[in-house]
Structure 1
Amino acid sequence: MTSIKKFGKELARHFMTGVSYMLPVVVAGGLMASFSVIFGGSNVWNDTITIWGDLRQLGVIGLELVVPIIAAYISYSIADKPGLGPAFIGGMVAQQLNAGFLGGMVVGIASGYFILFLKKIKFPPRIAPVKTMVLIPLIGSTVIGFLTIYIIGKPIAAMNEALTSWLQSMSGGNAVLLSVILGAMMAVDMGGPINKIANTFGLAAFAEGIYTISTPMEIAVSIAPVGMFLATIIGKKYYSEEEIESGRSAIIMGLVGISEGAIPFAVADPLCVLPSIIIGTTVSSGLVTLLGITQNTALSTFLAIPFTSNIPLYLLCIAAGVVVTAMMVNGLKALKYRRTEAIKEFVGKDKNYDLDEIDKFRVGE
């Protein structure tokens, strides 16, 4: 059981390595495709003669690199540099077979562990010098390439197509539930591994044209930092001067789509802050899906406002999440504040205990 858990943790680490290398490419590709539509119009997808048409082609190329890149860097995380070549080739094959993001991950795992196996084989001394530069890339690329063509690619492509069709057909409660889950994942660690998984899933959906999935992920980005800024404005007595200053930074970060602006608050008071930002973010993500609002760009919360299908309702979704975050966190802090004041009154007004010391005093520690 211990070895299985250890393997699971290692696999998760390899996946996150692949995602971390892949994200800058998919973000760049998505933004280029988005800006081409924003400035060139919807006909830009058939345009090959204007600068916006060229920008669209660059964006599409970037999005097509997602599969080989995540395959290569998962393999790299497992087997180091020798794992790159075979996984890049296998990833390109998976891309051409429409095996998608999932296909890239499987290719990366297969390539990494196969190359790791090849590295452990002892070759005769005469050919050992060319082992790393020639034999491993040749054998690895050939085996992984054929493995992708005949075993990995087609079944996963069929599964990926079925998954895409299912996501596109989602409506009602199922779609809202998925959006709520994505919103919670975006908020729970603000730029951490869980956030990146949700972000990657949303961007993969965007690359497939499934805007009903990418929109709730994108609206979730800024709810936490902006909600915490509002909380510091309407409940100043619950926050230190440093936290109020952090709130001013958080609003700036939130407006440009940086969720990490809420991290100082979560670190200082996780029991009050984390539940609040998770609930607030899920309100925005679920509401935007419930109201049927989409945006076909890779832009986050506020930057996407001009390109949404219904601007007033989209603004309502943002406001709802921000207000719920602020009201909930201040409500929880108010309970904590009243408890502290009541215990201070009990032990004596001349005492100056912090909350932890008061709790210890109360239970007789």
Structure 2
Amino acid sequence: MSFKDGAKKIAGHFQTGVSYMIPLVTAAGLLTSIAVIFGGTNVWNQTKDIWGNMRLLGQTGLGFIPVIIAAYVAFSIADRPGLAPAFIVGMVANSLGTGFLGGMLVGILVGYTCQWLKKIPMPAKLTAIKSLIIIPFIATLVVGFIMIYVFGAPIKAMTVCLTAWLKGMSGSNAVLLAGLLGGMMAVDMGGPINKIAYAFGMAAFTSGGYTASTAMLMAIAIPPLGMFVATLLGGKRLYSAGEIENGRSALIMGCVGITEGAIPFAVADPVRVIPSIIVGTSAGCALNAFFGTTHKTAMSTIMAIPFDSNPLLYVIAIAVGVMITALMVNFLKDVTHHKPQED
């Protein structure tokens, strides 16, 4: 099998993972969005009323995105024997903070491990329990240890190094720092790099470093808003009917600051989507820092507009980031002759 054929096969497995993930993202994202729209930003910290509990339901669902990706990518590769190991190791990867990229990796590792184990000949007496016990046990143990021992330590080390690096930059060029934070927020949308940028931004916020916190918070909604605009501009030529519908959900989630609205696009087409949202988000945040606008709230992107020191320039920076994301992803799809897959 050629590299191109192998890549297409893996892309097909990712598409299967996306098809199972969409109901989760839509239901959880809309629950969270409605809770924030009607309950205000205080819903994030309480469960005293219906809106706080609705947020809890939605946020819990969004937390399962890496696990669902892992399970159904593995299912696409190895059928039912891949489900249990991927659910278990997907939960471990989620606890390590690997985000949706970790879920994709777990799905591939578990799926192909199970596929390989299926081909190993076993005595007839063990055939009945092969799929039920032997394959799930070995796949869980092997891939689980890989995630814990091979990826766990590097993620922790990366967290320490990147945090120290950002602290060293905090007194330097504001435009560069803002662009860097924007790119880090977009790169894995809930993964370790995103969490480092978020933690740094919130630490800056509590100490009055509003340039850094504004950049971090501004970055949250640019990826989903950018993908919504991309589906508008690309239409049926570049996106399936399902992806266009996902774009509408991404708009709603983006407006209330839920980055996960862009994840279905990133999983389905990581090579084109992830670089585009990184560049667009980084550019928008850097431009806003160049304008010198800040806000002294912990609200994200759209919701922070009324509180910014210069709302007009802030909106222009957001719009630039969104348009760069949309134009770049559609350009990459065009030049590589990407065709939307049928739903």
> Normalised by the size of structure 2, how large is the TM-score?
0.56
State whether structure 2 residue 97 is matched by structure 1 residue 94: no
| 1:26/1:203 contact within 8 Å kept | no
Equivalence map 1:106-125=2 (5 Å): 106-125=105-124
Q: Deviations over 1:196-247 (max 9, x none)?
A: xx8x945769984554433322332454577799xxxxxxxxxxxxxxxxxx
Equivalence map 1:338-349=2 (5 Å): none
Aligned CA distance change for structure 1 residues 316 and 145 (closer, same or farther; 3 Å): closer
Deviation at 1:116, TM superposition (A): 0.7
| 1:283/1:317 contact within 8 Å kept | no
Tell me the secondary structure at the aligned position of residue 2 of structure 2.
helix
Deviation at 1:40, TM superposition (A): 2.8
Tell me the secondary structure at the aligned position of residue 130 of structure 1.
helix
In structure 1, what residue type is equivalent to 2:175?
G
Equivalence map 1:225-304=2 (5 Å): 257=251, 286-287=283-284, 290-291=287-288
In structure 1, what residue type is equivalent to 2:143?
I
Larger radius of gyration between Structure 1 and Structure 2 = 1
Deviation at 1:155, TM superposition (A): 2.6
Report the Cα distance in structure 2 between the residues aligned to 1:306 and 1:18, rounded to whole angstroms: 31
* Higher alpha-carbon deviation: 311-320 or 52-61: 311-320
Aligned residue in 1 for 2:56? 57
Report the Cα distance in structure 2 between the residues aligned to 1:255 and 1:65, rounded to whole angstroms: 18
Equivalence map 1:123-272=2 (5 Å): 123-159=122-158, 172-173=175-176, 176=179, 201-202=188-189, 208=195, 209=198, 211-223=217-229, 257=251
Structure 1 unaligned regions, length at least 5: 183-197, 230-249, 259-278, 298-303, 325-365
Q: Deviations over 1:295-318 (max 9, x none)?
A: 956xxxxxx855545454455457
* Higher alpha-carbon deviation: 169-178 or 21-30: 169-178
| 1:70/1:104 contact within 8 Å kept | yes
Aligned residue in 2 for 1:233? none
In structure 2, what residue type is equivalent to 1:130?
I
Equivalence map 1:306-325=2 (5 Å): 308=305, 310=308, 312-313=312-313, 315-316=315-316
Report the Cα distance in structure 2 between the residues aligned to 1:146 and 1:284, rounded to whole angstroms: 35
Aligned CA distance change for structure 1 residues 113 and 51 (closer, same or farther; 3 Å): same
| 2:26/2:249 contact within 8 Å kept | no
Aligned residue in 2 for 1:190? none
Report the Cα distance in structure 2 between the residues aligned to 1:9 and 1:167, rounded to whole angstroms: 37
Q: Deviations over 1:93-150 (max 9, x none)?
A: 1112223333322222221111011111122111212222232223322333333333
| 1:216/1:285 contact within 8 Å kept | no
| 2:280/2:323 contact within 8 Å kept | no
Q: Deviations over 1:249-280 (max 9, x none)?
A: x9xx979949xxxxxxxxxxxxxxxxxxxx9x
| 2:159/2:193 contact within 8 Å kept | no
Which structure has more relative contact order (CA 8 Å, sep 6+)? It is 2
State whether structure 2 residue 8 is matched by structure 1 residue 14: no
In structure 1, what residue type is equivalent to 2:127?
A
Aligned residue in 1 for 2:261? none
Deviation at 1:92, TM superposition (A): 0.6
CA RMSD of aligned residues (A): 4.6
Aligned CA distance change for structure 1 residues 117 and 164 (closer, same or farther; 3 Å): farther
Deviation at 1:89, TM superposition (A): 0.2
Report the Cα distance in structure 1 between the residues aligned to 2:71 and 2:178, rounded to whole angstroms: 32
Aligned residue in 1 for 2:41? 42
In structure 2, what residue type is equivalent to 1:214?
I
Aligned residue in 2 for 1:103? 102
Aligned CA distance change for structure 1 residues 66 and 89 (closer, same or farther; 3 Å): same
| 1:68/1:95 contact within 8 Å kept | yes
In structure 1, what residue type is equivalent to 2:9?
E
| 1:25/1:66 contact within 8 Å kept | yes
Aligned residue in 1 for 2:207? none
The percentage of counterpart residues that share the same residue type is 41
In structure 2, what residue type is equivalent to 1:217?
P
Deviation at 1:90, TM superposition (A): 0.3
